[in-house]
Amino acid sequence: MKSDIDSLVKFIEDTHRDPFYWYPKDSFYKDIAGVKRQIDKPLSSLSFYQLIEPVLVRLQDGQSDLAMPFSDFYNLYLNLCKIPARLKFSVKQPYVSYLGPILPDLDISVPENAEIFSINNIPSQKIVGDIIRMTGGENQEFRLAFRSLFHQFHLKQLYSIDTSYKITYASGQGIKKIALAGISGKEFNARKPKESQAPNSQGPYRLKLVDSLNTAIIDFRSFEEKPSFLRFADSTFCLLKEQKVDNLIIDLRSNVGGDSEIGDEFLQYLVQSDFNQYSKVITKYSYLQKESIKTMQIRIRAAVLMK
């Protein structure tokens, strides 16, 4: 396991152009040494992630952290019961707010937009800080917006909360408490309303028309699947032109990033003048990248020979 950490650090230094731009190298190495001292037995992927991810986050890169081990998480916690409330997270007070139940048939006597002070006696400010601490990225707002989408993962991993939820919240009558039973994934899927998807919704891009407001809403969940996006954009803007829609809302609240070229393609529909996303690109070809290209070339030659 310690050798895995050494390999991880080496790969970061070999591939990244300047990994220590924000966080000093000596501080990073000191943190890595501290992590290695804590390892005295084999760790699961989840335990390893919890240990090393906060150190990688300090690089403030957003591209040099580990993927969340969802597969191992859900295989291990088959009977995980999610919090039955929709929550909004913020880097400023109120740190956590209640938006409503996760199912329309749930009756939860908490006012909408009420401030939540704690979950199972864990202060909301601490929950927000811990999510940010476990998330790579350039700024806190992005890190929280991205990883709070997976707050159930963090509630279980950080605080072992997964069955019942004791909420302390603000109401018109002062501070109140309520106990909520968690809902299993099986029960949630059985009870949730069936979603109707617009016919021109493809991949992580969705279009919703609000006829009463003469408005269209494009929901970008990620900038991925470029061929799918090109089809989506073409059909969407043709439809908006045909129906003479005056207003367009671009919803990026749940966007997790992706291919910047998709942003360029999208802007072509909105901007009439020429534009550049950046003036130059500096690329570092590490030996890992070269090995990857070499392997790909070998596979292509093998495939050609097989034909």
User: What's the rounded Cα separation, in Å, for the pair 69 and 128?
Assistant: 20
In this prediction, residue 195 has a pLDDT band, given cuts at 50, 70 and 90, of low
- Please write the tens of the pLDDT for every residue from 147-160: 898 999 999 999 99
Residue 20 belongs to a domain: yes
* Three-state DSSP class for residue 194: coil
Say yes or no: 68 and 95 in one domain. Answer: no
Residue 6 belongs to a domain: yes
- Please write the tens of the pLDDT for every residue from 122-181: 999 999 999 999 998 878 988 898 889 899 999 999 999 989 999 999 988 899 999 999
State the chain's mean pLDDT as an integer: 88
User: What's the rounded Cα separation, in Å, for the pair 55 and 28?
Assistant: 7
- Please write the tens of the pLDDT for every residue from 43-72: 999 999 999 999 999 998 877 888 899 999
Would you say 287 and 14 are in contact if contact means Cβ atoms under 8 Å apart? yes
pLDDT of residue 244: 93
- Please write the tens of the pLDDT for every residue from 257-293: 788 888 888 888 888 888 777 778 777 777 777 788 8
Residue 288 belongs to a domain: no
pLDDT of residue 202: 53
Question: What residue numbers bound the domain in which 53 lies?
Answer: 2-76
* Residue 220 reports pLDDT greater than 70: yes
Say yes or no: 175 and 233 in one domain. Answer: no
Quick one: CA torsion of 296, 297, 298, 300, rounded to 10 degrees?
Answer: 90
111-118: average pLDDT: 95
pLDDT of residue 67: 87
pLDDT of residue 272: 83
User: What's the rounded Cα separation, in Å, for the pair 111 and 96?
Assistant: 13
User: What's the rounded Cα separation, in Å, for the pair 147 and 134?
Assistant: 8
pLDDT of residue 307: 66
* Three-state DSSP class for residue 183: strand
Say yes or no: 126 and 172 in one domain. Answer: yes
pLDDT of residue 196: 45
Say yes or no: 72 and 90 in one domain. Answer: no
Residue 284 belongs to a domain: no
Q: Return the CATH number at 120.
A: 2.30.42.10
92-113: average pLDDT: 94
Residue 275 belongs to a domain: no
Residue 200 belongs to a domain: no
